[in-house]
A and B are shown apart, each in its own frame.
Chain A
Amino acid sequence: MADKKLQEFYTHLAFGEFDLALEHAEKAGPFGDENEKIIIQALRLKKILQKTACLKEA
């Protein structure tokens, strides 16, 4: 990701806008840095956790 896009991605994250961050990353990728790859995986895991929690609730 270019520096500017990377900065936008982390700004979304810092403000807790996780869905926006994931959306941004999926559009702006690919992610060369291993750290970013892990963060994206963590965001996907977070999405799965939320969905699972919602299903359980239903």
Chain B
Amino acid sequence: MRRTQNTLKKLDGVLSNFLRAYAVKRLDRMTTEKRLEKLRDITYSNKPQYANMDFRFQALENWFSENMSGIDRNRLNAELIQQIIDCVNQIGILCRGHADNKNEVSALFDRKRALKVANLANIFIEDITKSKPVSSIAGKIKIDKPAEQVLPSGGVPKGDDSKAKFKDSLQYQLDTLDYYSEDKYYLFSIVDQLFNSLEKKPDIKANHLAASILYFLKLNGYMVAPYVEKLRKLTRNSNG
């Protein structure tokens, strides 16, 4: 009788230990999931607080600073790692300012902060995927100078897709302004950079951006005539 009783008590003890250990593990996992939910929220949400890209990047920077070492790697299964990879890929898109999401209010942001977030995301993803097999690894986030477009002979291309090309050119303008976002670059110095580039090779987008900046400056009362003349000359050279 006593032996049966002891066995029952032993069994109860084993069950108690198992239940306690499982609960602790499950609570840890829930904490990790909550943190990742926050990351997804910052990365994807259209909340007004993130409409300004600088605020979004600030929140991402804070998230990585808080969670870089805080997340228990053992609690990350393939599904959670994949979620992080998806977020990092999206952050890469945000950093490059090519947000395809139509709800994205603005792609303008502080380039230095974006770079910092990209670096933090790269370090984080490298660390968590070190010893885990995952289906798709996020590529390293890079923020490159936007690609230019060679001017074809005969001038600006015509066709049904001119609206798309114009939109693409406007995106290039935003990206280029981000690229030259440091204080040392004034609008005139960006035009100088564009002229240097145009002297080396014709480029529709650079040409369009230079003209756009000069027109803006003209509307604001700046003397732009010598610059306009130079742009005309560069355009003539490229056309003929």
Inter-chain contact A56/B4, CB cutoff 8 Å: yes
A13 to B27, CA, bound (A): 10
Judge whether B8 is part of the interface by a CB distance below 8 angstroms: yes
- Quote the shortest CB–CB distance from B36 to chain A (angstroms): 13
The answer, yes or no, to whether B222 is at the interface (CB within 8 Å) is no
For A, the interface residue count at a CB cutoff of 8 angstroms equals: 22
Whether the pair B19, A39 counts as a contact (CB closer than 8 A) is: yes
> Cβ of A53 and Cβ of B5 under 8 Å apart?
yes
Q: A13-B19, A14-B23, A16-B16 are in contact. Are A56 and B1 (CB under 8 A)?
A: yes
Given known A-B contacts A50-B12, A53-B9, A10 and B27 have beta carbons under 8 A apart: yes
- A3: CB under 8 A from chain B? yes
**B169 shortest CB reach to chain A, Å:** 47
A43 and B19 contact, CB distance less than 8 A: yes
Main secondary structure of the interface of A (DSSP, over half): helix
In Å, the complex CA distance between A50 and B23 comes to: 20
Given contacts A7-B27, A11-B27, A56-B1, contact A46 B22 (CB under 8 A): no
Q: Please name all residues of chain B whose beta carbon is closer than 8 Å to the beta carbon of A42 when the two chains form the complex.
A: 15, 18-19
Give Cα distance in the complex from A53 to B9, angstroms.
7
Q: Are A39 and B11 in contact (CB under 8 A)?
A: no
Residues of B within 8 A of A (CB): 1, 4-5, 8-9, 11-12, 15-16, 18-20, 22-24, 26-27, 30
CB-defined A-B contacts under 8 Å, sample of 24: A3-B30, A10-B23, A10-B26, A10-B27, A10-B30, A11-B23, A11-B27, A12-B23, A13-B19, A13-B20, A14-B20, A14-B27, A16-B20, A18-B16, A42-B15, A42-B19, A46-B16, A46-B19, A49-B8, A49-B11, A49-B15, A50-B12, A53-B9, A57-B5
Other CB < 8 Å A-B pairs besides A14-B24, A53-B5, A53-B12, 4 of them?
A13-B19, A42-B15, A49-B11, A53-B9
